[in-house]
Chain A
């Protein structure tokens, strides 16, 4: 079945450091891929998405490219801020009606000043 594997955390960085959070997936067909962010005590917010191979999703300085050949969707940001501290979830969704979002276990990012 479909699944998502993302790197274990926590990831601890200093402000302005480069961020990479790895995400790989297993899926039949051509899923859509997502990164969601969860701040403490809150629900999930969609950060970015990509719906087909080689698409690049971007938002708030974060980027991720849909790589079909490596089944990956790694999240990157060139310069993190303290306010980026949160839990990041990689997710996929099939293209059939009623299919669920399948999430990874989440990666906690902690950025210090």
Chain B
């Protein structure tokens, strides 16, 4: 069975640009969460979506947005990129709304120059 897949794996953007990151959860999983991991730190929660609705939001500015599609895949959008947005963006999928067992993808490494 395929695990959580994220695309692209690496991305370089310029300050001020916009970026879209994609995530496909494990088949049958209805919840997708997004995390930002800055080098040397633990992941920080950005969003959780369950059944296509936002169910949780972390302390990130409105430049960050996301959505979940009918097939449960998800996109994370970041507008007006800043140098500080450079990080590994991780997607996690789980069966339900609770994090009793969250499975992570390999992540998208975003570099803002």
Binding site for B on A (CB under 8 A): 4, 32, 34, 36, 42-46, 49, 51, 89, 91, 93, 95, 97-106
- Roughly how many angstroms separate A106 CA and B44 CA in the complex, as a whole number? 12
**Whole-angstrom CA separation of A104 from B92 in the bound complex:** 17
A93–B99 CB distance below 8 A: yes
Neighbour of B55 across the interface among A44, A98, A105, CB < 8 A = A98
Please state if B92 and A42 are interface contacts (CB–CB under 8 Å): no
Question: Contact size class for B?
Answer: 20 to 34
* B43, A93: Cβ atoms closer than 8 Å: no
Taking a contact as CB atoms closer than 8 A, the residue among A4, A98, A101 that contacts B92 in the complex is A101
Asked if B105 contacts A43 (CB within 8 A), the reply is yes
- Known contacts A45-B104, A101-B102, then 16 further A-B pairs from the complex at CB < 8 Å, ordered by chain A residue: A36-B104, A43-B104, A44-B43, A44-B90, A44-B104, A46-B101, A91-B42, A93-B99, A97-B97, A98-B97, A100-B45, A101-B35, A101-B45, A103-B42, A103-B44, A105-B41
Q: Tell me which residues across on chain B come within 8 A of A97, comparing CB atoms.
A: 50, 55-56, 97-98
Q: How near does chain B come to A20, taking the closest CB pair, in angstroms?
A: 19
What distance in Å separates the Cβ of A24 from its nearest Cβ neighbour in chain B?
14
**Would you give 15 A-B contacts (Cβ < 8 Å), ordered by A?**
A32-B100, A34-B99, A42-B106, A43-B90, A43-B105, A44-B92, A46-B102, A49-B100, A93-B98, A97-B56, A97-B98, A100-B99, A101-B43, A101-B92, A105-B40
A42: min CB distance to chain B, Å: 6
